[in-house]
């Protein structure tokens, strides 16, 4: 049996702490080796919980105890830490988005290439069994070449306005997953973006410079179109659906209900809401994401979510923002 991949988690806020727990407890072949955070007491608390050392960010990245670094810090620090980890020859997992600055993204990806280290970007939804089944139905040819795709992502409730002010906006903080999903399932690069946005849920979101409802049409090189909608609010739960129509059929993922109980009366049928938290919906996907990372680091091969896969959604988010502001479709290089 191989030695486990020893993973250090940098940044142990909500998402980083979740990754640390998954690595520590649920991933065969992985070992949580250390944790770090710019806020030292947070790192210490998580370290205590999992009985691993707390380090400074720089110590962890340089540590001989660490084979791979999971970068779960704030977005503006990602590229610097990627470069640092690459210099130390570490395998790298980086949360999405890599960066909101494409020049920085390119510099980081160049550093990774020079160092020849593995890099995987944390687009967790690719590892959801349902969305993956859509992708697989395309890849195997079961549904044929894709003509149309539809993607809906709707959060149960808006995030705090304070978050929205710094998030980069709906195309970056939310639809970026859907841009990735379109690339994942359609199988033809995107060449044009047309976007619309509106403030319909909360005026405070508009005052913060963002929209709360957004629609995007992506045109692919082969003529296929992906239509994406996002809403910062879905009162019935966390709504995540992907669908492709191909020349031979359709594949679609839906939402798991909170439970399977249904009541039937003279008023019709009645059932439960959809679970309303992404950690719940994607609990299984996060574990499978780490399984994929470990296999990739151990066995090599193409990255499950490469640097180019991390870069493209940022380009599309930028283009969507420009399209929404100008009211015009925006061409992109095939990505």
Residues 66-125 that bind its own copies (CB under 8 A): none
Instruction: For residue 266, state whether it binds its own copies (rule: CB under 8 A).
Output: yes
Count of beta carbons in the 10 Å neighbourhood of residue 19 = 26
**3-class state of residue 183 by DSSP:** helix
Nearest approach, Cβ of residue 220 and its own copies (Å): 9
| Tokens 């395998």 -> residue | 91
Q: In the complex with its own copies, which residue's Cβ is closer, 10 or 35?
A: 35
Give the binding-site size for its own copies (rule: CB under 8 A): 72
Query: Angle 183-120-256 (CA atoms, 0-180°, nearest 5)?
Result: 60
Instruction: For residue 326, state whether it binds its own copies (rule: CB under 8 A).
Output: no
Residue from the set 162, 264, 299, 333 that interacts with its own copies by CB under 8 A: 264
Scanning 103-111, 118-126, 194-202, 298-306 for contacts with its own copies by CB under 8 A, the matching segment is 194-202
Residue from the set 18, 62, 245, 315 that interacts with its own copies by CB under 8 A: 245
Is the distance from CB of 56 to CB of 8 less than 8 angstroms? no
Q: In the complex with its own copies, which residue's Cβ is closer, 116 or 268?
A: 268
Nearest approach, Cβ of residue 123 and its own copies (Å): 17
Task: Give the whole-angstrom CA distance, residue 278 versus residue 145.
Answer: 31
Nearest approach, Cβ of residue 242 and its own copies (Å): 9
DSSP 8-state code for residue 151 = E
Instruction: For residue 203, state whether it binds its own copies (rule: CB under 8 A).
Output: no
Scanning 82-90, 173-181, 252-260, 306-314 for contacts with its own copies by CB under 8 A, the matching segment is 252-260
Nearest approach, Cβ of residue 293 and its own copies (Å): 20
Q: Kindly identify the residues of this chain, within the stretch 7-66, that bind its own copies according to CB under 8 A.
A: 51
Nearest approach, Cβ of residue 195 and its own copies (Å): 9
Is the distance from CB of 143 to CB of 244 less than 8 angstroms? yes
Crossing angle of helices 283-299/14-25, nearest 10°? 60
Q: In the complex with its own copies, which residue's Cβ is closer, 206 or 306?
A: 206
Q: In the complex with its own copies, which residue's Cβ is closer, 39 or 248?
A: 248
What are the two backbone dihedrals, phi and then psi, of residue 174, each rounded to the nearest 5 degrees?
-130, -55
Is the distance from CB of 68 to CB of 5 less than 8 angstroms? yes
Task: Give the whole-angstrom CA distance, residue 322 versus residue 320.
Answer: 5
Instruction: For residue 273, state whether it binds its own copies (rule: CB under 8 A).
Output: yes
Scanning 27-35, 63-71, 133-141, 179-187 for contacts with its own copies by CB under 8 A, the matching segment is 133-141
Nearest approach, Cβ of residue 86 and its own copies (Å): 35
Scanning 9-17, 86-94, 111-119, 250-258 for contacts with its own copies by CB under 8 A, the matching segment is 250-258
Is the distance from CB of 73 to CB of 92 less than 8 angstroms? no
Is the distance from CB of 86 to CB of 78 less than 8 angstroms? no
**3-class state of residue 261 by DSSP:** coil
For 246, half-sphere exposure in the C-beta direction (CA atoms, 13 angstrom radius) is: 23
Q: In the complex with its own copies, which residue's Cβ is closer, 79 or 213?
A: 213
Is the distance from CB of 179 to CB of 125 less than 8 angstroms? no
Scanning 38-46, 104-112, 142-150, 171-179 for contacts with its own copies by CB under 8 A, the matching segment is 142-150
DSSP 8-state code for residue 149 = E
Is the distance from CB of 90 to CB of 64 less than 8 angstroms? no
Interface mask (CB under 8 A) for its own copies, residues 208-227, using x and -?
A: -----x-x-x-x--xxxx-x
What are the residues whose beta carbons fall under 8 Å from the beta carbon of 127, sequence distance 6 or more? 285, 286, 288, 289, 292
Instruction: For residue 325, state whether it binds its own copies (rule: CB under 8 A).
Output: no
Residue from the set 74, 139, 270, 308 that interacts with its own copies by CB under 8 A: 270
């Amino acid at each position: 049996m191989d030695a486990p991949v020893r993973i250090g988690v940098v940044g142990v806020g909500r998402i980083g702490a979740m990754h640390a727990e998954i690595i520590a407890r649920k991933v065969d072949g992985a070992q949580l080796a250390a944790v770090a955070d710019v806020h030292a007491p947070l790192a210490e608390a998580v370290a205590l919980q999992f009985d691993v050392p707390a380090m400074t960010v720089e110590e962890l990245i340089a540590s001989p105890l660490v084979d791979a670094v999971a970068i779960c810090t704030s977005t503006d620090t990602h590229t610097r830490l990627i470069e640092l980890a690459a210099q130390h020859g570490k395998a790298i997992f980086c949360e999405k988005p890599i960066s909101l600055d494409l020049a920085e993204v390119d510099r980081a990806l160049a550093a990774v290439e020079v160092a020849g280290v593995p890099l995987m970007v944390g687009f967790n939804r690719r590892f959801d069994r349902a969305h993956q089944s859509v992708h697989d139905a395309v890849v195997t040819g079961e549904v044929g070449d894709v003509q149309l795709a539809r993607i809906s992502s709707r959060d149960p409730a808006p995030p705090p306005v304070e978050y929205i002010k710094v998030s980069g906006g709906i195309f970056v903080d939310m639809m970026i997953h859907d841009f990735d999903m379109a690339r994942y399932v359609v199988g033809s690069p995107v060449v044009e973006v047309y976007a619309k946005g509106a403030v319909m849920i909360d005026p405070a979101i508009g005052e913060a410079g963002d929209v709360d409802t957004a629609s995007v049409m992506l045109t692919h090189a082969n003529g296929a179109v992906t239509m994406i909608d996002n809403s910062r609010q879905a009162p019935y739960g966390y709504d995540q659906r992907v669908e492709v129509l191909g020349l031979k059929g359709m594949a679609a993922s839906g939402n798991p209900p909170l439970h399977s109980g249904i009541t039937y009366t003279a008023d019709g049928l009645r059932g439960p809401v959809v679970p309303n938290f992404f950690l719940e919906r994607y609990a299984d996907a996060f574990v499978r994401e780490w399984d994929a990372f470990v296999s990739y680091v151990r066995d090599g091969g193409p990255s499950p979510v490469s640097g180019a896969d991390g870069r493209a959604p940022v380009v599309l988010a930028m283009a969507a923002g420009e399209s929404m502001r100008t009211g015009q479709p925006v061409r992109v290089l095939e990505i």
